[in-house]
Chains A and B, each alone.
Chain A
């Protein structure tokens, strides 16, 4: 891995008796990083610790090699944050608030105004930028939140559930925007419990469940699979028995089989077994592993 932009060692966070994060060790490279987990998995807690907004119970985190606990201001000067909930003064216009957010990020006042206008155009709020934020719809608020998170030109943006509450069109637009952030040289940590959104936008996945780290690796590694998916027309019993007798590992769901073979070509083996047993074939192909498959499997394993 190239130099990690985020690292955590022995990270624990407890709220009273509830352990939000448990012994999390991770290193994450630059790029678009998906932070995956169910509600309550510890995603928001991890993000707040990375910003130095929350102190961990034990352990340390570094962002661009700087400790978020010892030097939170140095970390925040390179990071933008889009919180999950609202964070707007309702009586202020989007242009004023985003411009002010830029100043809070250290940009000069004159530059802030210009950049606010550019960023609001980027997120699709050019027409609405002089309207009060209190009059915005959920979709517009999400866009404005993204604008305040990137207006000061951070190296890394932490997005906490940026697509929550959006309709399908709004979600599509938000995911496209997140994809574009990488083009502007920003790394993105995108927290979501919608695994499909992560698959569409991220190249690295950090998977959490009940505060524990389940996976921390490239998306393509997670999705890689050597299994072959076979859908049969008839009773799969004879084919399964024959496959297993020849050393294949087979999992069965109704008439669908996932077949894995350590040595040899699984496709050839399946062809031979079907020919021998006379079981009818509906379809055959490499198994597509989704994040959901992996998450459910990991959850089952760890639970």
Chain B
């Protein structure tokens, strides 16, 4: 028999533990962004497009390594070396996939929060507008880096395993460790900057993706036309071409930029670097200005 009884209401208790600072809160927003982009904790149909694109980006890399395994020992190494895509070639393969991935992901990160008024919840928490935007951009950067790096890592490690000298292959190609991420950053800086700018104003995700794709295609068409007919400097309006030029420069691969509006018009890669930085800077400023008003 007990002398005293007590009833505890387990429904609610005050939290008395430690609270995280803003870096942890930012990280929570990054994780939420990654889940949004990849459709995690969402219905199955939300996973189809992102995971479909990821599979499309990675499967050829696996196939390349498999093909190398299959052809190993056939005595046609030199011939095959020309046939099998290297790292810069693979960027060319995944360039359009990355473009599509960003076109669909950037709107996903910004538009639902704004249209469904979730920004009110963010605005009532101990974080700033910059925290929110940095975390959202960071989420896309993380996923795009994974998207572009994963197949490159498959090729890199596959090559190392097949070389028969694993460590030697890795150490002999150390330059790839900076070339691949830097190229991915260049890709991200150009493509995501514009996609985020459009998503800042569009109210529907599909419309934002469509506008972005249309805008990119039009910029290439207009730039080519004006560069040919008016002045070669109009080539700088081909926004997608800047990333290609930079990736070609990073890998020292002139073939990569063959047929590129900028290269054809003799525009220096430095101009492309400035353009990429300008797009990223402009996007950052525009996003911050717009969100300061609405958050």
Give residues in A with beta carbon < 8 Å to B: 51, 53, 73-74, 76-77, 79-81, 83, 85-93, 96, 100-101, 103-109, 111, 115, 118-119, 121-122, 132, 148, 150, 152-153, 184-185
Contact across chains for A103 and B14 when beta carbons are under 8 A apart:
no
Contact across chains for B14 and A184 when beta carbons are under 8 A apart:
yes
Q: Which residues of A contact B16 (CB under 8 A)?
A: 153
Q: Supply 5 further A-B pairs (C-beta < 8 A) apart from A73-B128, A106-B21.
A: A85-B120, A87-B118, A104-B122, A107-B19, A153-B14
| CA of A153 to CA of B19, assembled, Å | 11
Tell whether B12 is near chain A: CB-to-CB under 8 Å. Answer: yes
Contact across chains for A109 and B12 when beta carbons are under 8 A apart:
no
Identify 10 residue pairs between A and B in the complex whose beta-carbon atoms are under 8 Å apart, listed by A's number: A53-B123, A76-B126, A79-B124, A83-B120, A91-B112, A104-B121, A105-B126, A108-B20, A108-B24, A153-B14
Query: Which A residue sits closest to B124, measured CB to CB?
Result: A81
Chain B CB count within 10 A is highest, among A76, A81, A100, for A100
Chain B CB count within 10 A is highest, among A80, A89, A109, A132, for A89
Interface of B is mostly: loop
Contact across chains for B17 and A108 when beta carbons are under 8 A apart:
yes
Q: Which residues of A contact B24 (CB under 8 A)?
A: 103, 106, 108
Contact across chains for A89 and B15 when beta carbons are under 8 A apart:
no
A-B contact count (CB 8 A): 104
| CA of A91 to CA of B10, assembled, Å | 29
Contact across chains for A107 and B32 when beta carbons are under 8 A apart:
no
Cβ of B173 to closest chain A Cβ, rounded Å:
38
| CA of A51 to CA of B34, assembled, Å | 29
Contact across chains for A73 and B17 when beta carbons are under 8 A apart:
no
Determine which of B22, B117, B126 lies in contact with A87 in the assembled complex, contact meaning CB atoms within 8 Å: B117
Q: What is the size, in residues, of chain B's interface with A at 8 Å between Cβ atoms?
A: 37
Q: Which residues of A contact B17 (CB under 8 A)?
A: 107-108, 111
Kindly specify which of B41-49, B71-79, B82-90 makes contact with the partner chain: B41-49
Query: Which A residue sits closest to B41, measured CB to CB?
Result: A96
Cβ of B138 to closest chain A Cβ, rounded Å:
15
Contact across chains for B28 and A76 when beta carbons are under 8 A apart:
no
Tell whether B11 is near chain A: CB-to-CB under 8 Å. Answer: yes
Tell whether B25 is near chain A: CB-to-CB under 8 Å. Answer: yes
| CA of A101 to CA of B28, assembled, Å | 10
Contact across chains for A88 and B42 when beta carbons are under 8 A apart:
no
Determine which of A86, A91, A103 lies in contact with B25 in the assembled complex, contact meaning CB atoms within 8 Å: A103
Contact across chains for B12 and A119 when beta carbons are under 8 A apart:
yes
Q: Which residues of A contact B54 (CB under 8 A)?
A: none
The 5 A-B residue pairs with the shortest CB-CB distance, nearest first, are A106-B19, A153-B15, A81-B124, A103-B28, A122-B11
Q: Which residues of B contact A104 (CB under 8 A)?
A: 25, 28-29, 121-122, 125, 127
Q: B118-168: which residues lie under 8 A (CB-CB) from chain A?
A: 118, 120-128
Contact across chains for B127 and A88 when beta carbons are under 8 A apart:
no
Query: Which B residue sits closest to A85, measured CB to CB?
Result: B117
| CA of A116 to CA of B295, assembled, Å | 24
Tell whether B113 is near chain A: CB-to-CB under 8 Å. Answer: yes
Contact across chains for B11 and A109 when beta carbons are under 8 A apart:
no
Contact across chains for A101 and B19 when beta carbons are under 8 A apart:
no
| CA of A77 to CA of B124, assembled, Å | 9
Cβ of A127 to closest chain B Cβ, rounded Å:
14
Tell whether B3 is near chain A: CB-to-CB under 8 Å. Answer: no
Contact across chains for B112 and A89 when beta carbons are under 8 A apart:
yes
On whether A51 and B20 interact (CB within 8 A), knowing A87-B116, A89-B116, A152-B15, the answer reads no
Cβ of A69 to closest chain B Cβ, rounded Å:
14
Query: Which A residue sits closest to B28, measured CB to CB?
Result: A103
Q: Which residues of A contact B126 (CB under 8 A)?
A: 73-74, 76-77, 105-106
Q: Which residues of B contact A103 (CB under 8 A)?
A: 20, 24-25, 28
Contact across chains for A87 and B125 when beta carbons are under 8 A apart:
no
| CA of A106 to CA of B122, assembled, Å | 12
Q: Which residues of B contact A132 (CB under 8 A)?
A: 43
| CA of A131 to CA of B108, assembled, Å | 21
Cβ of A141 to closest chain B Cβ, rounded Å:
11
Contact across chains for B11 and A105 when beta carbons are under 8 A apart:
no
Contact across chains for B25 and A89 when beta carbons are under 8 A apart:
no
Determine which of A51, A87, A100, A122 lies in contact with B32 in the assembled complex, contact meaning CB atoms within 8 Å: A100
Contact across chains for A77 and B19 when beta carbons are under 8 A apart:
yes
Cβ of B63 to closest chain A Cβ, rounded Å:
34
Q: Which residues of A contact B120 (CB under 8 A)?
A: 81, 83, 85, 87
Contact across chains for A101 and B25 when beta carbons are under 8 A apart:
no
